[in-house]
Structure 1
Amino acid sequence: MSQVNIDLSHLADPTFFADNRLPAHSDHLWYASAAEAAAARSSYQVCLDGVWKLHYARNPSLAVDGFEDPSYDVSQWDDIAVPAHLQLHGYDKPQYANVQYPWDGHEDIDPGQVPTDYNPTASYVRTFTLPQALPAGERLVLRLEGAESAVVVWVNGAYVGYAEGSFTPSEFDLTAHVHAGANRLALRVYKWCSGSWMEDQDFFRFSGLFRSVYLRRLPATHLADLRVGVSLSEDLRTAEVTLRTRLEGPGSVRAVLDGVGELVAGDDGVARLTVADPHLWSGEDPYLYDLDIEVCDADGAVTEVVPQRVGIRRFGIEDGVLKINGQRIVFMGVNRHEFGEQGRVMTRERTELDLIALRRANVNAIRTSHYPNNSFLYELADEYGFYVIDEANLESHGSWDGVTRQGQDPEAVIPGNHPQWHDAVVDRVTDMYERDKNHPSIVMWSCGNESYGGDNIADMAALLHAKDSRPVHYEGITWDPRRPDTSDVVSQMYTPAAEIEAQLATRRDKPFILCEYAHTMGNSFGGADLYMDLAEREPLFQGGFIWDFADQAIRLTAPDGSAYWGYGGDSGESPHDGDFCGNGIFYADHSESPKIQEVRHLFQGLRTEVARESFTVTNRFLFTHSSAYDCVVTLEREGVPVASADVETDVAPGTSATYPLPLALPDGADGTAGEYAITVSFRLRQATAWAEAGEEIAWDQGVVTVEAPAGLPGPFAIAGNPGARPVLVRGRHNIGVHGESFQVLFSGLTGALTSYRYGRTQDGAGELLRAPVLPCFWHAPTANERGYGGPYEEGAWQLASRYPRLVEDHDWPAAVEEDGESVTVAFTYALAGLPGSTCEMRYRVLGDGTVEVTQTLDPTGEVPSLPELSAMIQVPGTMDRLTFYGEGPEETYVDRRGGGRLGVHSSEVVEQMAGYLNPQESGSHTGVRWARVTDRRGRGILVSAPEGGQIEFSALPWTPFEVEDAPHDFELPLTDRTVIRPALMRRGVAGDDSWGARPKKQHLLPTGRLVHRFSFKGVL
C-alpha cells in the first residue's frame, strides 16, 4: 500500500496503524569490522539527533501543506532539539492525566476517533548528506526509536510510510528515494491518533520525536534478525545455546561463543553449541557470554560483525512457582516509567545511574510500566542483573473504569473483542517481542496494563506463548476472568497482604504476584514489611513491584524566579490529576527520597536477629553465600562508638546460622551503664559495577540496656540534676517560675506557657519561645490521608489544634502546685469541634530549668481517628540545627521504621522537610530518646523522653497548618521560627494504596484517654 495523503480518516481508523513500515526485528547492531565492534562505533549507523526545523500547529487543518517538497523554504521555521517533547519546549502544554483521557469533556468522540480542534501537529525537517550513491544491493533505512503518537515520513518529497505505536521503533526503507548529496527528510507527528486510545497510561501526555533517530545502512548481505535460545539440563550442568538467523542476501553466518567454541548449524538451519558447566546468569551474578557473529557474503568476505551478549539461565514455572535456575524467586521490584528531568527523553547514561541506584537499594526486579523502554534499559538490566517484566504498549484504562465503577457494558471496552482493534494490539506485542527477545533479563512478557480483558488480549498472550517459553503476565484477568489463559500468573494491584493470604488459602493454581503495590505517593510506604513477611511464609506469593520508581514531575518556574517541580494542573492544563504523579521512591531528579531507607532495609538479602550474646543470620539470597561479604559487628553506647570486630560467616542461601557476639558488653561500672546498640553489618568485599568495596548491603540492630551495679548511678539520664527548688511568682495575670539561670512565664490571659528564657535572662535576652506552647493533634495531611478523605473525617482535630479554649475552673486560670523541688502549672483546654473532650498540659518546672510536660488527652464520646498526639513548641528560626538520638537518619514512622538506625543523627532543620511534590507531613522520627535544636553556637533547647522511654520527634521550619496550605514547596511562607513537635505517637503513613487504604490497626493511636510525657530544657 502507498498512502500518500494521510488525513483524519486514517488517524481515526484503528485498522490503519502502519504503512510501508518494515517488520520488527531483534535490537542487535552490526559493524563493518571487529575493531568497530570493540569501539561500539558502527560506520553503518548515523545518528540524526540534534537540531531540526519545526512548524507547530494546533491541529492538522492548520499544518502547512507541501513542506515535504525539497523546494519548500523552512529557513524561518523554529529550531527544536531531537529527541525532545514539544510540550517541554514551549509548544502546547504538558498534561498529566491518570485514567481519564486527556480530551475528555472537550470533544465528544467515540473510541478510535481523534480530537479535531485540539490535535497538536508537528512538521519536522532535517537534511542529511550521502557522500555517494548507495552501492548496488545496499539499502538505507530510517529508524525512529520513538515518535508520539503517529508519524508520517517523506524523503525528497516522496511519501515513504506511516506508523503508530509510540514506544517501539518504526523503520522505513528510504533506498528508492535517496541520492548522493543532500537529502531532505520530512516527518509529520500527530499527538493523537486511534492508537492514543491504547496509550492511556498514568503519565504526562507529550508528543514529538522523543527518542533517537538513526539512518542505518544495510549491506547487500545483511543479518536482518537473530534469536538466541538457551536450554539447560535438569541438573543445570550442561546448556545448549542455539542461534536462529534471518539473512537477507546470499551469504553465510559464523558464530563463536567466547571461551567455549563455535556454534554448528544443523539441517534445520539452527546453529547449536553445548556448554559444559555453564556460568549461569542470575540477578545475583549477571554473567554474560560474548557471542561473536560474522556475516559473510557469497564470496566469503565479511560484511558484518555482530556482537551479542548471552545469558545462560532458566526461568519459568516449576513445581507451581516461578523459579530462576531452579530456585524460587521473590520479586523485590519497582515499576519504572521511563521519565526524568526531560520527561520521557532518556539517555543511556541516566538510565545506568538509575539502575545503579536501584541495585544499591537492593531492588532486584523492574516492570517497564507501561510500555517497552529504550533498548539500552534491557542491555543494562542484563549487565546489572535485574529481573524484568517487559510490558507491551497497551493501556485503555479510561475506556473501562466505568465498568467497575458504574456497571457499564464491558463490551464497550477496547480492545476487548472488537475485530477492528485486533491487528493493532497484536502488532504492538509483536514489535516488543521481536525487538527484545534476546535479553536474559526479561523473565516475563506482559500484554499491557489496565485494559480489562477479552479475546484480543488473549491473542496477544497466545502469540507470546507460541514464540517463547517465558511466562506471560496480564493483570486484567482479575477484572475480566473470561480468558484466564491470558496470564500464567495471578497478578493483582494493591491487594492488602492479609487479603492475598486469604485468597491463597483456596486458590493455588498459579503463582501470585503484585504487579503494583505499596503506592508510594508522597509520605508513604508504610506497612510494606507485611508483604515481604508473607512472601517468606507463603511459597505462592512471590513478591511484587512498588509503584513506582521516581516522581513524574516537570521543572517549572515560580513567580519569584525559583525552580520547582510541577505536577498536574501546574501548566494550566485540564483535565488533569494533580499530584497523583508523585509516587516515587526517588524524587523527580532521581535523588533518593526518605522512603529508600525503608526499601533498602526491607529488600536486603541477609537478615540478622541480634541478641545479647549472639546473632543469627538468615540468608535470603538464592545463590550467594554470606561469606561473599565482610561481616562487621559494632557496639555503640547511646550513639558513641565503643568497639568493632569482624566475624567470618558462611551462611548458605536459604539457611540460617548463629554466631557468638564477638564483643563483650561492659558490666555497668565506672560509668559504663546505659543503652547499647549492637549493629551487624554486611559489606561488599570487592568493588562491583554498582558500588565500591565496603558498601553496606545489609544490616540489623539489637538494643540492650546495661544496668549499673547496686549503689552506683543508673543509666544516663538526660535531665541531669534538678537543682534547688525554683521560685514561684504569682502575678495578677501571669505566673512566673524562676531559677538561677532560667525564667518561665505562664500567661493567664493567653492560657499557656508563653515564655521560657535560659541563660542570659535579663532584658528579654535568652528567650526560647516564639509562640505559646499548645497541644497539637494534627499534621499536614499526607497524600494517603487525603486519598481516603482524612481531612473531611478528621478535620475536628485540626480545629482542636488551632482553637483550643482554656477551661477556667480554678481561682487562677491554671492550677498551680508546689512541692519540695518543683513548681507545677496546669492548663486544661476544651477542644473545638469535639464537644466534651479536653486536653490538659501540665508543666513541672525543676530548679535547673527542666520542664517536665505531661499532656493528657481525654476524649468524650465517638471521636475521629487521631492523627497524632503532640505538643507544639515554636523557637527562633536561628535554631536551625537538629541533633537527635533515635531512629534515622531519614524520617521514620510507626509503620516505616525498619530502615531507621538507632544512633545520633544531625541535620539542618530545613532538611527535615522531605521534597514531596505536595508538601505534607514529613520529618518525624520514632524511637527518640533526646533531641537538641540549636543555633550555630549551640544555644537552644533539649527535648527528652522520660528516662528509659521513647517519643516521636519532629522539627520543621513551619507549623502543620502552614505546610498544609502550601500546594508546592515554593509556596511555603518565609519563616523565622523552628516548630518542634514532640509526640507520644504519630499515626502510620500507610501505603497499600493512596485512594482509600488506611493505616493498619496496629499503626493507629490507641483510643480513649492518652498520656504523653516528655521534658525540655535550655542548652548553651
Structure 2
Amino acid sequence: MKTLSFILLSSLLCTSLTAQPPSNEWEDPTIIDRNKEAARSQFILYDTAEKAMTGEATESAYYKSLNGDWKFHLVKTPSDRPRDFYKTDLDDSDWSLIRVPSNWEVEGYDIPIYTNIIYPFPKNPPYIDQEYNPVGSYRKEFTVPETWDNKEVILHFGSISGYARVFVNGNEVGMTKAAKTPAEFDITSYLNSGKNLLAVQVYRWHDGRYVEDQDFWRLSGIERDVYLQVMPKTAIWDYSLTAGLDESYTDGEFSMNVMLRNFDGASSDRTTVNLEIFGPDGNGILSLTKHHSDTNSPMTFSHTFKNVEKWSGETPTLYRYTIKIPGSQAVSGKFGFREVEIKNAQLMVNGKPITVKGVNLHEHHGTLGHVPDRETTLQDFKLMKQNNINAVRMSHYPHGIELYELADEFGMYIVEEANIEIHAMGAALQGPFDESVHPAYLEEWAPGLMDRIHRMYERTKNHSSIIIWSMGNESGNGPVFYEAYDWLKAQDETRPVQFEQAGQNRNTDIVAPMYPGMNYMKEYAADDSQT
C-alpha cells in the first residue's frame, strides 16, 4: 500500500563546501538545458481566427493534450533508476499509473517536504547527496493525426519540477532543469506514423534546486499541462505588444511585433499577416495587413486609438486582438490600455497614484499541490476583490498561465517574479555570508540565473495585469542581477523592475525591503537625499 507522509523539516546537517569537478549533468550549473526551445510568449495556435477567439485550446486542430494517466515508476536514489525507461520494447506492465499534471508526493509517492531557508538536502553546491534523491520515470503513448503531416510538432511542458530528460520513441529529444516556466522541444523528426511513446525521467534534486529555495512545500514531477502544438512550416512563433497612453492619458498608443518562424523546408515566399483589434463591445475597430518575407526580423504593427477606455484595477477594460495568416493559422488574446510610471517617488497607473493593497501568493492547492487550478484562483481573486486587495506578488516564481488571464480580467496588479531564491546560501541585508561559494556571485551560475529571468519575461510579457517585474527573492545581489536589470530595462520600457535584494542600489526601480521595521520606514521617508 502506498503511504503518504509529511515531514516538517527544521534542520539538516551541512557537508563541507568542497570544490570538485561535476560528474553528473544534474550537478553542473553550467549545463542549463539541452535542445530546449528559446523562451517565447505562451499561447495556443489555432487553425482559424474564429476558434482562436473562443480561448478553448481543445477547439484548435493544432492542439493535442497529453494530460491524463501516465505509467509511473519511482525509486529512492539515482543508482536504482531504470536506465532503459525510454525504450520502446520495455515491459512496463507492472508500473503504476499517475495522473499528469501532478506532483508525485501528493499522489501517494515519496514524501512532501516543507522547509524555509534550510535545503531539503545537505548543502554542498552544486552537488546532491545521492542517498536520498528520488527519481520518477514516466511513460505515455500517443498518436498524431494524419492531418499533421508536413507540419512541425512542438512538445510543451508547462512546468517540470526537477531535472528531466525527455525521450520520444527511444530517442532523447532534450533536457530541462528550471521549474515554473515552460520547456518546449521540437519533436517532429522523432515521430512515427501511428503510435508513439513519450518517456520522461525526473530527478527530485539537482543543481537548480539550490536557486529554488523558496519558503514552501518542496514537490516534484510534471506539474503543469503537457500538450502537442502543431505548426505550419511558416508559423506565428512569437509576438510582443505594448498598449500605453499618450501624455494626456487619453489616446491609446498600440504597437505589436510579430515574429514568424520558417521551419526546415518552408518556402521563403512572402507571408501575409493580418492584425485585427476589437473594442470592449466586441466590434472590430482596426484591421491591418502586411506582407513579410524576412523571418529573421519582426513584423511591426502600430496605431493610435482615440479616447480609449483605460485598464486599471478599478476598471479592467479589455480589448481583443487576433493575429492570423489567412487560410493557415491564428492567435488571439486580450489586452488593456494602461500606462505604468514612477513619478515623484509614487507608483502611478494612467497618471494617477495608486495605493498597493497586496498579498503574496504561492501556487498551492490543498489536494493538488502545485498544479494550477483555475477555479481556485478564481475564488481567490473574488475574495481578494471583496476585501479591497488589488495586487498580488507571484511569490516566488511564475505561476500557471491561467492566473494572468484572470488577473487581466479582474483588474489585479501583478508583480511577476523570477523563479530564483538562494536563501540558505545567504541573503543580502540579512547578515554576513560567504560570496565565494554563493551562486549569485559565481560566474558559472550566472547563465542559468539569467535564463530564468529571460523565461519569466518572455512568457508573460503581453499581460496587461503585470505592472512590475521582480528578479527574485532573498538571493544575494551578485553581478548577474545588475546584468539582468539592464536586460529587462532594455527589453521593456513600460514597466519598472524591482529587486528586494538590491536595497537602494542601482539595479532596482523600487526599494522593497524585506520586513522593514517602523523606525527604518520613518527614516527612509524622512531622507531627502533619496528619490
Residue of 353, 359, 364 corresponding to 1:328: 353
Give the AA of the match of 1:254.
N
Residue of 487, 491, 496 corresponding to 1:471: 496
Give the AA of the match of 1:456.
V
Residue of 298, 303, 328 corresponding to 1:303: 328
Residue of 415, 423, 434 corresponding to 1:397: 423
1:48 aligns to 2:66 (yes or no): yes
The answer to which structure, 1 or 2, has the higher relative contact order (CA under 8 A, 6+ apart) is 2
- Quick one: structure 1 residues 281 and 265, their matched pair in 2 at CA, closer, same or farther if it must change by over 3 Å? farther
* Matched position secondary structure for 2:239: strand
Query: Does the aligned pair in 2 maintain the 1:265–1:272 contact within 8 Å?
Result: no
Give the AA of the match of 1:184.
L
Residue of 63, 67, 72 corresponding to 2:90: 72
Give the AA of the match of 1:20.
N
1:15 aligns to 2:30 (yes or no): yes
Q: Which residue of structure 2 lines up, in the alignment, with residue 444 of structure 1?
A: 468
The structural deviation recorded for 1:135 is: 2.2
Q: What is the distance in 1 between the residues matched to 2:200 and 2:507?
A: 37
The structural deviation recorded for 1:38 is: 3.8
Count of matched residue positions in the alignment of Structure 1 and Structure 2:
488
* Matched position secondary structure for 1:466: helix
* Matched position secondary structure for 2:305: strand
Q: Which residue of structure 2 lines up, in the alignment, with residue 213 of structure 1?
A: 226
Query: Does the aligned pair in 2 maintain the 1:263–1:272 contact within 8 Å?
Result: no
Query: Does the aligned pair in 2 maintain the 1:264–1:272 contact within 8 Å?
Result: no
Give the AA of the match of 2:257.
R
Q: Which residue of structure 1 lines up, in the alignment, with residue 311 of structure 2?
A: 281
Deviates more, 1:361-370 or 1:88-97: 88-97
Query: Does the aligned pair in 2 maintain the 1:445–1:473 contact within 8 Å?
Result: yes
Q: What is the distance in 2 between the residues matched to 1:263 and 1:497?
A: 54
CA RMSD of aligned residues (A): 1.9
The structural deviation recorded for 1:270 is: 1.2
Give the AA of the match of 1:202.
D
Query: Does the aligned pair in 1 maintain the 2:416–2:466 contact within 8 Å?
Result: yes
Residue of 68, 77, 83 corresponding to 1:59: 77
Q: What is the distance in 2 between the residues matched to 1:448 and 1:404?
A: 16
The structural deviation recorded for 1:401 is: 5.1
Q: TM-score, normalised by structure 2?
A: 0.89
Deviations 1:949-988 (A, max 9, x none): xxxxxxxxxxxxxxxxxxxxxxxxxxxxxxxxxxxxxxxx
1:175 aligns to 2:188 (yes or no): yes
Give the AA of the match of 1:503.
Y
Q: What is the distance in 1 between the residues matched to 2:488 and 2:275?
A: 26
The structural deviation recorded for 1:194 is: 0.8
The structural deviation recorded for 1:507 is: 5.0
Q: Which protein has the bigger strand share?
A: 1
- Quick one: structure 1 residues 245 and 215, their matched pair in 2 at CA, closer, same or farther if it must change by over 3 Å? same
The structural deviation recorded for 1:461 is: 1.3
Matches within 5 A, 1:723-802: none
1:495 aligns to 2:520 (yes or no): no
Give the AA of the match of 2:411.
G
- Quick one: structure 1 residues 115 and 199, their matched pair in 2 at CA, closer, same or farther if it must change by over 3 Å? same
* Matched position secondary structure for 2:276: strand
Matches within 5 A, 1:217-256: 217-249=230-262, 250=268, 251-256=271-276
Deviations 1:249-290 (A, max 9, x none): 352211011142124669984111110001110010000101
Give the AA of the match of 2:275.
A
Q: Which residue of structure 2 lines up, in the alignment, with residue 408 of structure 1?
A: 433
Matches within 5 A, 1:524-563: none
Deviations 1:102-140 (A, max 9, x none): 113xxxx5211122111110000000012327422x111
* Matched position secondary structure for 1:103: coil
Query: Does the aligned pair in 2 maintain the 1:379–1:439 contact within 8 Å?
Result: yes
Q: What is the distance in 2 between the residues matched to 1:112 and 1:403?
A: 24
Q: Which residue of structure 2 lines up, in the alignment, with residue 122 of structure 1?
A: 136
Give the AA of the match of 2:254.
V
Q: What is the distance in 2 between the residues matched to 1:17 and 1:412?
A: 19
Q: Which residue of structure 1 lines up, in the alignment, with residue 446 of structure 2?
A: 422
Q: Which residue of structure 2 lines up, in the alignment, with residue 92 of structure 1?
A: 110
Q: TM-score, normalised by structure 1?
A: 0.47
- Quick one: structure 1 residues 403 and 307, their matched pair in 2 at CA, closer, same or farther if it must change by over 3 Å? closer
Give the AA of the match of 1:496.
G
Q: What is the distance in 1 between the residues matched to 2:477 and 2:436?
A: 10
Deviates more, 1:383-392 or 1:341-350: 341-350
Matches within 5 A, 1:547-626: none
Q: What is the distance in 1 between the residues matched to 2:470 and 2:491?
A: 14
Q: Which residue of structure 1 lines up, in the alignment, with residue 340 of structure 2?
A: 315
- Quick one: structure 1 residues 402 and 384, their matched pair in 2 at CA, closer, same or farther if it must change by over 3 Å? closer
Q: Which residue of structure 1 lines up, in the alignment, with residue 16 of structure 2?
A: none
Q: Which residue of structure 2 lines up, in the alignment, with residue 792 of structure 1?
A: none
Q: Which residue of structure 1 lines up, in the alignment, with residue 410 of structure 2?
A: 384
Query: Does the aligned pair in 1 maintain the 2:273–2:290 contact within 8 Å?
Result: no
Query: Does the aligned pair in 2 maintain the 1:30–1:306 contact within 8 Å?
Result: yes
Q: Which residue of structure 2 lines up, in the alignment, with residue 756 of structure 1?
A: none
Q: Which residue of structure 2 lines up, in the alignment, with residue 527 of structure 1?
A: none
Matches within 5 A, 1:144-155: 144-155=157-168
Q: Which residue of structure 2 lines up, in the alignment, with residue 347 of structure 1?
A: 373
Query: Does the aligned pair in 1 maintain the 2:272–2:290 contact within 8 Å?
Result: no
Give the AA of the match of 1:292.
T
Q: What is the distance in 2 between the residues matched to 1:72 and 1:191?
A: 23
Query: Does the aligned pair in 1 maintain the 2:428–2:501 contact within 8 Å?
Result: no
Percentage of pairs with the same residue: 34
- Quick one: structure 1 residues 291 and 311, their matched pair in 2 at CA, closer, same or farther if it must change by over 3 Å? same
* Matched position secondary structure for 1:493: coil
Q: What is the distance in 1 between the residues matched to 2:428 and 2:471?
A: 21
Q: What is the distance in 2 between the residues matched to 1:352 and 1:305?
A: 27
The structural deviation recorded for 1:402 is: 10
Q: Which residue of structure 1 lines up, in the alignment, with residue 203 of structure 2?
A: 190
The structural deviation recorded for 1:318 is: 2.2
- Quick one: structure 1 residues 266 and 465, their matched pair in 2 at CA, closer, same or farther if it must change by over 3 Å? farther
Deviations 1:982-1019 (A, max 9, x none): xxxxxxxxxxxxxxxxxxxxxxxxxxxxxxxxxxxxxx
Q: Which residue of structure 2 lines up, in the alignment, with residue 32 of structure 1?
A: 47
Deviations 1:636-682 (A, max 9, x none): xxxxxxxxxxxxxxxxxxxxxxxxxxxxxxxxxxxxxxxxxxxxxxx
The structural deviation recorded for 1:412 is: 2.9
Query: Does the aligned pair in 2 maintain the 1:86–1:92 contact within 8 Å?
Result: yes
The structural deviation recorded for 1:34 is: 3.0
Deviations 1:462-498 (A, max 9, x none): 11111002100100023xx6xx121111111221344
Give the AA of the match of 1:28.
F
1:291 aligns to 2:321 (yes or no): yes
